[in-house]
C-alpha cells in the first residue's frame, strides 16, 4: 500500500515479503515465472492508501464477481468512511433456512449466512451489507438468504430505533449487472430500500411446471 511504511508485523512480515518476491518474479519473467509466482503476481494489486479504507492490511476477494466489486469500491472510495470484505466463516452471521429442491416435498436445511461486505456510507451511521453472487444465480438457497437477510436487518433496525441508536443497516444482494446502479444509488443517497435486479428476481415466485 502506498504511503504505509510498516503495514505488517510478526509472521505477516515474512508472508508479505514472500508475496513481493513472487510479484517481482512475475513482473520480470511473465509466463516463464513459476506457477506460484504467476498466480500471486497476476492477482496482487497495490492500492493507494487514500483509497484503502479497510481495517485490515489486505483486502482479499476470491471470485471474479467479488474482485470486480472490490475494484469499484476502491474507485468510489470517496463515498465511504470504511469498508471490509468479511471472511467466509467467523464474521457476522445469522441463520436462514431453505428447501434444497425447487419442487416436491423435501426437508428444510438450516444454515448460517455470512454476508460478503460491510460498507459505511461517508459521514453517516448507515451500513450497507452486501452479498455478491454471479449473474442469474436464483437458487432456492439464495432466495432464502435474500429473504431472511432482509428480515434479519429489518428486525435489527427496529431494535436499534427502540434503543435510540443512530445506526441503520441496509441489506443488498448484487450480481455484476447491478453494480452500476448500486453505486449510483449511493451517490444520490437513495440506497435505503433500494432493490437490485437480482433481489427482484429472487423475490419472484418459483414457476411450477404444468
Dihedral, 69, 73, 74, 76 alpha carbons, nearest 10: 130
What are the grid coordinates assigned to 179, written together? 453494480
Q: Could you tell me if 94 and 140 lie in one domain?
A: yes
Does residue 1 fall inside a structural domain?
A: no
In three-state secondary structure terms, 191 is coil
Does residue 114 fall inside a structural domain?
A: yes
7, pLDDT greater than 60: no
Q: Could you tell me if 40 and 62 lie in one domain?
A: no
Q: Could you tell me if 126 and 144 lie in one domain?
A: yes
State the average pLDDT for the chain.
84
Q: Could you tell me if 151 and 167 lie in one domain?
A: yes
Nearest-10 crossing angle of helices 179-187, 64-75? 30
Does residue 210 fall inside a structural domain?
A: no
What are the grid coordinates assigned to 109, written together? 436445511
Split at pLDDT 50, 70, 90, the class of 6 is: low
Q: Could you tell me if 77 and 132 lie in one domain?
A: yes
Looking at residue 167, what is its pLDDT?
98
Does residue 209 fall inside a structural domain?
A: no
Q: Could you tell me if 14 and 73 lie in one domain?
A: no
CA distances from 68 to 65, 79, 178 (A): 5, 17, 12
Does residue 184 fall inside a structural domain?
A: yes
Which residues are within 8 A (CB) of 59 and not within 5 positions of it... i.e. 6 or more apart?
A: 47, 52, 70, 85
3, pLDDT greater than 60: no
Which residue range(s) make up the domain with 106?
51-203
111, pLDDT greater than 90: no
Which residues are within 8 A (CB) of 8 and not within 5 positions of it... i.e. 6 or more apart?
A: 15, 16, 57
Summarised one tens digit per residue, pLDDT across range 73-104 is 999 999 999 999 988 777 899 989 887 765 55
- Supply φ then ψ for residue 64, to 5 degrees: -55, -45
Q: Could you tell me if 155 and 79 lie in one domain?
A: yes
The average pLDDT across 28-51 equals: 78
Neighbour tally for 99: CB within 10 Å? 16
What are the grid coordinates assigned to 67, written together? 474482485
Looking at residue 106, what is its pLDDT?
66
Summarised one tens digit per residue, pLDDT across range 144-199 is 999 999 999 999 999 999 999 999 999 999 999 999 999 999 999 999 999 999 99
Closest by Cα among 155, 171, 172 to 163: 155
The average pLDDT across 25-33 equals: 79
Split at pLDDT 50, 70, 90, the class of 209 is: very low
205, pLDDT greater than 80: no
Q: Could you tell me if 80 and 35 lie in one domain?
A: no
Does residue 122 fall inside a structural domain?
A: yes
Q: Could you tell me if 112 and 31 lie in one domain?
A: no
Least trusted range by pLDDT, from 49-53, 66-70, 85-89, 179-183: 85-89
Does residue 3 fall inside a structural domain?
A: no
The average pLDDT across 114-138 equals: 91
Q: Among the ranges 35-44, 48-57, 124-133, which has the highest mean pLDDT value?
A: 124-133
Q: Could you tell me if 21 and 112 lie in one domain?
A: no
pTM to 2 decimals?
0.80
Does residue 208 fall inside a structural domain?
A: no
Helices (H), the chain: 11-29, 35-41, 64-75, 140-162, 179-187, 197-203
Domain count, the chain: 2
Q: Could you tell me if 35 and 60 lie in one domain?
A: no
Task: Give the residue, 29 or 206, on which the prediction is more confident.
Answer: 29
Amino acid at each position: 500500500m502506498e504511503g504505509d511504511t510498516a503495514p505488517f508485523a510478526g509472521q505477516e512480515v515474512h508472508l508479505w515479503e514472500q508475496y513481493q518476491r513472487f510479484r517481482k518474479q512475475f513482473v520480470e519473467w511473465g509466463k516463464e515465472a513459476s506457477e506460484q509466482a504467476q498466480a500471486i503476481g497476476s492477482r496482487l494489486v497495490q492500492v493507494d492508501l487514500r483509497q484503502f479504507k479497510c481495517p485490515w492490511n489486505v483486502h482479499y476477494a476470491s471470485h471474479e464477481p467479488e474482485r470486480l466489486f472490490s475494484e469499484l469500491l476502491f474507485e468510489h472510495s470517496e463515498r465511504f468512511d470504511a469498508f471490509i470484505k468479511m471472511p467466509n466463516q467467523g464474521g457476522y452471521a445469522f441463520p436462514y433456512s431453505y428447501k434444497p429442491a425447487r419442487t416436491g416435498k423435501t426437508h428444510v436445511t438450516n444454515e448460517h449466512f455470512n454476508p460478503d461486505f460491510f460498507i459505511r456510507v461517508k459521514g453517516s451511521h448507515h451500513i450497507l451489507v452486501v452479498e455478491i453472487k454471479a449473474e442469474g444465480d436464483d437458487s432456492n438457497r439464495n432466495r432464502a438468504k435474500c429473504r431472511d437477510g432482509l428480515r434479519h436487518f429489518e428486525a435489527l433496525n427496529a431494535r436499534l430505533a427502540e434503543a435510540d441508536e443512530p445506526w441503520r443497516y441496509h441489506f443488498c444482494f448484487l450480481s455484476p449487472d447491478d453494480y452500476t446502479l448500486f453505486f449510483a444509488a449511493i451517490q444520490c443517497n437513495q440506497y435505503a430500500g433500494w432493490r437490485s435486479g437480482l433481489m427482484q428476481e429472487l423475490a419472484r415466485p418459483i414457476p411450477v411446471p404444468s
